[in-house]
Amino acid sequence: MPSTMPAYRTRAERFDDLVLDAVERIERTWARQLDGTEFAVEDVPPSDPAPWEHGGVPLGRYFPPDAGLPARILVYRRPVEARATDPADLADLVRDVVVEQVAHLLGRAPEDVDPGYGDAH
């Protein structure tokens, strides 16, 4: 759609929508446990990996609550987009990244958080 049209959405805005869709899907089951959790999108991860990250570029990160700050889940747009083969794959990959990070937060397996985890890949 041309950028002059009212319904035009940038690639970043469309990605944000995919993250919001994934969060809404998970919140249907886990709303109480996710209360107060912040979800955000950043273009790329910082250049210094977390101590537990080995081999590769992270697609997302979970930050536990700390010093009065709420738990946060980040999804890194460009690495996720780079791995997706088409728009449907992108939506599935975004959902899987969000599910994985929520699983870290909840201390559960991703399949427990979303029984459809990984099905589309």
Q: What is the pLDDT of residue 5?
A: 64
Model confidence pTM above 0.85: yes
Backbone dihedral region for residue 67 (phi beyond 0: left; psi -120 to 50: alpha; all else: beta):
left
Residue 79 above 60 pLDDT?
A: yes
Residue 26 above 60 pLDDT?
A: yes
Q: What is the pLDDT of residue 83?
A: 95
Residue 117 above 80 pLDDT?
A: yes
Instruction: List Cα–Cα distances, 15 to 80, 81, 84, 94, 96, in angstroms.
Output: 10, 9, 12, 8, 14
**What is the average pLDDT score of the chain?**
89
Q: What is the pLDDT of residue 47?
A: 74
Between 5 and 112, the higher pLDDT residue = 112
Q: What is the pLDDT of residue 51?
A: 62
- Both tokens of 101, joined, read 């990070």
* C-alpha to C-alpha distance for 110 and 104, rounded to whole angstroms: 8
* C-alpha to C-alpha distance for 39 and 101, rounded to whole angstroms: 10
- Provide the pLDDT confidence category of residue 50 given band limits of 50, 70 and 90: low
Query: Residue 59 class from Cβ within 10 Å (0-12 exposed, 13-18 middle, 19+ buried)?
Result: buried
Q: What is the pLDDT of residue 118?
A: 80
Nearest to 15 by CA among 70, 59, 63: 59
Cα-only R_g, the chain: 15
Between 53 and 23, the higher pLDDT residue = 23
